[in-house]
Chain A
Amino acid sequence: MSSFARYRAAWRLERYAPALLLGIALLIYIAMALGLGQTRFLTPEAAVSILNRSIALGMTAVGQTFAILVGSIDLSVAHLISASAVVSSAIMDGNPAMMLPAAFAALALGAVVGTLNGLLITKLEVNPLIATLGMSLVIQGCLASFYGSFKGSVPDEFQIFAYGNLLGLPISLLVLVMLTLLAWLVLRFTRFGSNVYSVGGNRDTARAAGIKTARIVIASHVICSLYAALAGLYLASRLKSGSPWIGAEGAYDLESIAVVVIGGTILSGGKGGIWGTVAGVIIFSLIDSIFNLAGVDAFAKQVMRGIIIVAAVAFYAVRSKRMAA
């Protein structure tokens, strides 16, 4: 009978790995700045500017975390970001009174795209990679053919989103922090959040436990798309008008997946969380900053990012194999 009582809490390195990686990246950055005598890169202002560089990626990645945790993935976020930026700037067209309707339209677009993605994946049982890739192509095609008629611009008032400050901090950064906290609260403290983990962990188990799994998957995709639409609004505000390429240029689809994975959320779903994703986003920004400090060219930076992504995933894979043995 004693075997029933056996319980040993294992110390799980991989749970702290994102924090560890973040610490390493931070140390390298500080060492680099000190070594080069560039202490102005170590001020709070520098920290804010590092974070501020990743607002759009941060928003997208927080949303992507939902899609991946539920056991799905969303490749359509990049083009959705473009679409959101283009649609909102076309509706505003320089008129401050249209700001709210424009934001509303962009979010509605996100909700529609997310719902469609979710329906394709759950009801038609299309593989998420293919469903969202297809959705991505559709959005891209629509943007390309309609762009001629979208000659919008963003009123100055709307640019406060990207350039305004509140209490000495950029408004956009505050918005990202709030969106992140909201996502964390939902995942950690609501039944919906628990269900996201359950469905991602094992869809059959979740279904057998009485969870309506299709709804959870669809809702996760809607959240993912809403966050992407918000990222599109932010980019429109920053760039003063929407362009149909901003999403793709930022490679937000692949980068958002990369930072989620670096943050320790496993691609098959059910394990991970928002703080890992936050760590992943900051790690990516720090890598950028480190390379800027070192004066390395953009191509080398890209190679380094690639290596880090693969190394992170390999690390988690090796760890989980050891756990199973």
Chain B
Amino acid sequence: MTQLPIIEMRGITKSFPGVKALCGVSFAAYPGEVHALAGENGAGKSTLMKVLSGVYLPNDGAIVVAGKERHFKHPLDAIEAGISVIYQEFSLLPERTVAENIFLGREPTRCGIVDRRAMETEARRVVALFGEAQHIEPDALVADLDVASQQLVEIAKAVSLDAKVIVMDEPTAALNETECEALFALVEMLKKRGTAIVYITHRMREITKLADRVTVLKDGWTAASYDHVPTPDTIVHAMVGRDIGDYYAEPATAQEIGALVLSVRNAGNDQLKNISFDIKAGEIVGFAGLQGAGRVALARALFGAAPFTKGEVTLAGQSARFQSPREAIRAGVGLLPGDRKGEALVLMQSVSDNGMLTARALSNLAGHDKATRFASTTSMDALLRQVDVRAGNFSQEIKSLSGGNQQKTIVARWLSLDPKLLIFIEPTRGIDVNAKAGIYHLMRELARKGAAIMMVSSDLPEVLGTADRVLVMRLGELAGEFARGATEAQIMLAATGEKVGAA
């Protein structure tokens, strides 16, 4: 604590039209320390780091680097001040080589000519610091690397820039267990070199393992700041800001679980192998697993977007190997994709139009657009109110709504078609905590009314809290089934395929 911080952010405030993203947040990073920045999605972690890296200009507050106040007007200023940010979505150019990416925008030149040999030598030097196991060829195309190696290139870029502060934004989001361990070792190495690491995450395990200090953001405020690492419960409480008691809905009772709705037998395609499972009416079945384990592929296969090529699928007794989403929707399947803005919403249209989207798509082309076979604007309004979409009025553009209300609108869209099976993919991604509880209760309500619900989520506590049964996927196959009450550790073991006792 006697040391001076390398960087200090004081009272940072940043507003966007209609949103106050940060409100007087202060934050400091010391050399050779890992400062964990925790918080729910939308708490302002990423915005704060974008202010630090010069992508956003703060409305108020100061950034102090080595005792001097600085105003970053361009990311270049932040880079020159020794700040490197590794974003969750990498800033790598897939069509360029590793060396070219490491030297992006600052290629060494000799007499105006880019010195490729110097680039490759330096790239080799930096990658060698990471140890022999993590070898990357400097002339490999980034597109040919796996995610972990791409992340390594990002870290190499920061090291080669001689960054004094390296910000890592949820670095383990796309890594498997082994890759995570390798990353943790790297973080320790950087620490020893005196680099300050700002480690953004909401995984308690990583905070406990790596951090020296913890700051928790909530809704753009500093909810708590510790010079030590408190217990996970303390951090979670600061992140959530409420008691967990009624956070998740009650599980289904035996009477609520009804007839068989979905049955899959030995189904597969080029991403899925030998899938067999059932979902009954009134049941919420959670699908856990690592990124790329095949959960989304399975959802897309059931929905006909990337159909099964073998096996048998029945929906309420009818054969249901759908070849297109349209067929699936007709038969009573609804899917709420993980990327709401990209795949589910027409952002510039109204709440009401977004609700009517599928009903209109399946109705007579020449029919009336306000009163389709499945829903009228009046019945849609009622549905929107039923799922508790909060909007000034339903004719306002949906992009002005919060994530939670957008998600509820999509639920209303499907309700108009009275689906037998609803597939939720990452149902609460980018939704704030209180709205999350709303979505969980809504899902339970739908199940009680007789829908079968498949929930794909990477948020393990959410899966455990919501689902009546959990299926774990690994490498395109089902790797385990757990009744309610399973622990996170059990599920992670099944998801990573490691032997019991390894963790």
Contacts and interface: CB of A to CB of B under 8 A. Distances in A.
B276 to A, nearest CB: 25
B266 interface: no
B152 A4 contact: yes
B93 A210 contact: no
B145 A7 contact: yes
Given A204-B91, A208-B75, A271-B95, A3 B106 contact: no
Contact of B149 (A3, A197, A270): A3
B135 A10 contact: no
Contact of A190 (B85, B92, B114, B179): B114
A1 B146 CA distance: 12
Interface residues of A, number: 32
Contacts of B148: 3-4
Contacts of B75: 207-210
A2 interface: yes
B66 to A, nearest CB: 19
Contacts of A5: 133-136, 149
A325 B191 CA distance: 37
A3 B178 contact: yes
A313 interface: no
A4 to B, nearest CB: 4
Nearest to A206: B105
Nearest to A186: B112
Contacts of A9: 140-141, 144
Interface string B281-319: 000000000000000000000000000000000000000
B8 interface: no
Contact of B114 (A2, A10, A193, A198): A193
Nearest to A199: B105
Interface string A54-94: 00000000000000000000000000000000000000000
Contacts of B125: none
A7 to B, nearest CB: 5
Interface residues of B, number: 44
Interface string B122-138: 00000000100111110
Given A190-B112, A201-B95, A208-B91, A4 B179 contact: yes
B259 interface: no
Interface in B98-114: 100, 103-107, 109, 112-114
Contacts of A209: 75, 79, 91, 104-106
A20 B8 CA distance: 57
Contact of B93 (A1, A6, A270): A270
Contacts of A292: none
Contact of A206 (B104, B107, B137): B104
Nearest to A204: B91
A40 interface: no
A205 B79 CA distance: 13
B435 interface: no
Query: Chain B contact residues: over half helix, strand or loop, or mixed?
Result: loop
B133 A2 contact: yes
A323 interface: yes
Nearest to A1: B133
A195 interface: yes
B105 A4 contact: no
Given A5-B134, A209-B91, A212-B74, A10 B96 contact: no
Contact of A197 (B80, B87, B93): B93
Interface in A124-156: none
B41 interface: no
A267 B304 CA distance: 31
A274 to B, nearest CB: 16
A9 B138 CA distance: 12
A212 B135 CA distance: 32
A201 B319 CA distance: 45
A209 B101 CA distance: 9
B104 A198 contact: yes
A205 B136 CA distance: 21
B182 interface: yes
A1 B178 CA distance: 6
Given A1-B134, A7-B144, A191 B91 contact: no
Contacts of B112: 190-191
B222 to A, nearest CB: 25
B53 interface: yes
Nearest to A189: B113
Contacts of B145: 6-7
Nearest to B137: A7
Contacts of A205: 91-93, 104
A22 to B, nearest CB: 22
Interface string B163-184: 0000000000000101100100
A39 interface: no
A196 to B, nearest CB: 12
Contacts of A193: 114
Given A3-B146, A208-B55, A270-B95, A190 B113 contact: yes
A8 interface: yes
A122 interface: no
B143 interface: yes
A202 interface: yes
B114 A189 contact: yes
B486 interface: no
A265 B152 CA distance: 29
A207 B53 CA distance: 11
B97 to A, nearest CB: 11
A202 B143 CA distance: 14
Contacts of A212: 74, 76
A105 interface: no
B91 A197 contact: no
A210 B76 CA distance: 4
Contacts of B130: 4
Contacts of A38: none
Contact of B133 (A4, A7, A197, A210): A4
A211 interface: yes
A194 interface: yes
Given A190-B112, A191-B114, A201-B95, A210 B105 contact: yes
B96 A198 contact: yes
Choose among B55, B93, B133, B176 the residue with the greatest number of A CB atoms under 10 Å from its CB: B93
B278 to A, nearest CB: 30
A70 to B, nearest CB: 13
A146 B216 CA distance: 67
B28 to A, nearest CB: 23
Given A202-B93, A204-B91, A195 B105 contact: yes
A286 to B, nearest CB: 28
Given A191-B114, A207-B75, A323-B143, A7 B136 contact: yes
Given A3-B179, A4-B149, A209-B104, A197 B96 contact: yes
A263 to B, nearest CB: 15
Nearest to A194: B107
B113 A7 contact: no
A204 B92 CA distance: 10
A197 B96 CA distance: 9
Nearest to B90: A205
A315 to B, nearest CB: 17
Interface string A285-305: 000000000000000000000
11 contacts: A2-B133, A7-B136, A7-B149, A189-B113, A194-B107, A201-B96, A208-B91, A209-B91, A210-B74, A210-B75, A210-B76
Closest 4 CB pairs of A and B: A210-B76, A205-B91, A211-B105, A4-B134
